[in-house]
Amino acid sequence: MSCPAPTPEPTGQDRWLCHCLQVTEAEIRQAIDRGEVGSLEDVFTSTGAGIGSTACHRRILKVLKQARIDEGMPAERLQPAGH
Ligand code: FES
């Protein structure tokens, strides 16, 4: 799957983390806050982010790791897809 044609990107906390599916960092953080996601695969299921070109996986993992630091999420929940 390739990313769609470029469209204006939101700025600040609403910037797109996943350009293919146009999912913002804020949407992913909200899913984390709701307890819906703790892994990359959870993000795929909950938000749809990451199921296109996969170019955003490192950015999503960075947000998940930051959430772990902020909230004490167990490290074993932070696994790359397929691991
Ligand atoms: S940027 Fe392509 S799947 Fe997220």
List pLDDT tens digits, range 36-63: 998 999 999 999 999 999 999 999 999 9
Ligand 1 pocket, residue 53 CB under 6 Å: yes
The pLDDT confidence band at residue 72, using thresholds 50, 70 and 90, is low
Which residue ranges make up each domain of the chain?
Answer: 12-76
Ligand 1 pocket, residue 40 CB under 6 Å: no
Amino acid, res. 5: A
Rounded Cα gap, residues 73 and 55, in angstroms = 24
Token pair recorded at residue 63: 């947000």
Supply the pLDDT for residue 51: 96
- 12-76 under CATH 1.25.40, yes or no: no
Ligand 1 pocket, residue 22 CB under 6 Å: no
Helix ranges (DSSP H) in 1-83: 25-33, 40-47, 57-71
Ligand 1 pocket, residue 81 CB under 6 Å: no
